């Protein structure tokens, strides 16, 4: 009597999910097993990878990549759907699908790799935030912001029309703010007196970064005419502007919220410990601590990158390597092979700063490496080469999916 093959289900088609599926297929191949010996399933709303790190850019015409041909090349089965429920006791997923004949369908798994990413955190205590602010968290919200900005040209000139307020001076806030002066002038006219203001709650710009890059970031923003105000807490947002906790009012028709990320809410359905960002606490092999047969990777995983206490960041740079490790280990686990600990010895940061250029740093201490035009060359290379999936050639896919491969960014 033939038994159905064991199954690995990867949830999510972002950087971590894609690389988990490819790495699992690679591990199966290296073990000398035929395609289908273990079924690999990737479930996501669309078989598309969004280049999320590029969402600060104005031209996003090539910011998505179809994964269909790539997944087919390594015999990964794509299932269209959005997972709603996870039952780790019965090892089942319930999901909704545009193609299903029933409102809810189910999938079983032998090993689960959860790679559902992160989402923008919007505090509920800020009046008007959900109704009146914009964001660059996802492609659809970025497209809505772009349409809104272009619609401003039809309105009479005013301080509110010509002002963009970015709430949050972290990585995303800095990148989108740095793009805004040029973007506004292209839409409203080169001679328009545009204003871009960054409100940061901490007492410094880019508080999540190490000290070395902060003065460079401040210098770059100042050269672009961007006003950075620290120690500012947003109290409310409305159609005509934003008000801070101390009562200061900024007139603006475009308030962009970038202040913080949280792990996917699906992590709450896994009976395991989570950190303050909602990330599941995992072991060094990306296994969810205390939960059998479940791996977490990418933005939803709380894991150390080395033996020096550095936690993986919510970034594509870490998600790619974490995804490779999770897929590799989920397959090794099923095949009874040795699991390999996740490690990422190198860390580099590449921050876009509008017309000023870009900033590249190396190491966790974020030593400044390249700035301005030279930095921009690296940023362009990262955005157009490094974070893109490999060509749909089986040999190249498996080479790129090696979890031990460490790409130098410059």
Q: Say whether both 100 and 135 belong to one domain.
A: no
Q: Say whether both 253 and 136 belong to one domain.
A: yes
- Tell me: the pLDDT tens digits for 58-95? 999 999 999 999 999 999 999 999 999 999 999 999 99
Q: How far apart are CA 306 and CA 345, in angstroms?
A: 7
- Tell me: the pLDDT tens digits for 55-67? 999 999 999 999 9
Q: Is residue 240 part of a domain?
A: yes
Q: Say whether both 56 and 112 belong to one domain.
A: yes
- pLDDT surpasses 90 at 407: no
Determine the average pLDDT of the residues in 189-214: 97
Q: Say whether both 154 and 225 belong to one domain.
A: yes
Closest CA to 263 of 51, 94, 111, 120: 120
Report pLDDT for 399: 95
Q: Which domain holds residue 57?
A: 6-120+262-345+393-400
- Tell me: the pLDDT tens digits for 306-320? 999 999 999 999 999
Report pLDDT for 32: 98
Report pLDDT for 50: 97
- Tell me: the pLDDT tens digits for 5-15? 999 999 999 99
Q: Say whether both 165 and 116 belong to one domain.
A: no
- Sole residue written with tokens 């913080």: 260
- pLDDT surpasses 80 at 3: no
User: Any idea what the CATH number is for the domain that residue 97 is in?
Assistant: 3.50.50.60
What pTM did the predictor assign?
0.96
Please list the alpha-helical segments (H only) found in 194-343.
213-223, 316-335
Q: Count how many domains the chain has.
A: 2
The tally of CA atoms less than 13 A away on the side-chain side of residue 238 is 6
Q: How far apart are CA 249 and CA 36, in angstroms?
A: 61
- Sole residue written with tokens 């988990």: 20
């Amino acid at each position: 009597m033939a038994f159905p093959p064991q199954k690995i289900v990867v949830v999510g088609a972002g950087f971590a999910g894609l690389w988990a599926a490819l790495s699992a297929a690679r591990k199966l191949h290296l073990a000398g097993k035929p395609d289908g010996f273990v079924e690999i399933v990737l479930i996501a709303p669309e078989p598309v990878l969004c280049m999320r790190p590029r969402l600060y850019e104005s031209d996003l015409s090539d910011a998505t990549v179809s994964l269909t041909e790539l997944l087919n090349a390594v015999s990964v089965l794509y299932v269209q759907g959005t997972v709603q429920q996870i039952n780790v006791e019965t090892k089942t997923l319930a999901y909704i699908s545009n193609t299903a004949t029933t409102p809810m369908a189910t999938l079983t798994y032998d090993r689960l790799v959860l790679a559902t990413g992160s989402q923008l955190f919007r505090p509920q205590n800020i009046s008007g935030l959900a109704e009146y602010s914009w964001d660059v968290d996802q492609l659809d919200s970025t497209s809505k912001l772009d349409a809104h900005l272009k619609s401003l040209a039809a309105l009479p000139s005013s301080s509110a029309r010509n002002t963009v307020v970015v709430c949050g001076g972290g990585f995303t806030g800095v990148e989108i703010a740095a793009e805004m002066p040029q973007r506004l002038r292209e839409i409203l006219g080169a001679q328009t007196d545009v204003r871009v203001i960054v409100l940061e709650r901490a007492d410094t710009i880019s508080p999540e970064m190490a000290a070395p890059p902060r003065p460079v970031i401040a210098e770059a923003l100042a050269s672009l005419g961007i006003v950075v105000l620290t120690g500012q807490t947003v109290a409310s947002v409305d159609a005509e502007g934003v008000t801070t906790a101390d009562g200061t009012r900024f007139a603006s028709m475009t308030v962009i919220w970038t202040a913080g990320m949280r792990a996917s809410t699906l992590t709450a359905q896994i009976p395991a410990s989570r950190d303050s960002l909602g990330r599941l606490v995992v072991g060094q092999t990306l296994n969810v601590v205390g939960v059998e047969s479940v791996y977490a990777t990418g933005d939803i995983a709380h894991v150390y990158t080395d033996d020096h206490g550095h936690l993986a960041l919510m970034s594509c740079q870490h998600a790619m390597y974490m995804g490779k490790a999770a897929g590799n280990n989920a397959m090794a686990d099923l095949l009874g092979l040795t699991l390999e600990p996740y490690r990422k010895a190198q860390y580099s940061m590449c921050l876009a700063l509008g017309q000023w250029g870009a900033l590249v740093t190396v190491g966790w201490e974020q030593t400044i490496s390249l700035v301005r035009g030279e930095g921009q060359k690296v940023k362009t290379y990262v955005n157009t080469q490094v974070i893109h999936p490999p060509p749909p050639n089986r040999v190249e896919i498996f080479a790129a999916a090696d979890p031990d491969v460490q790409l130098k960014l410059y």
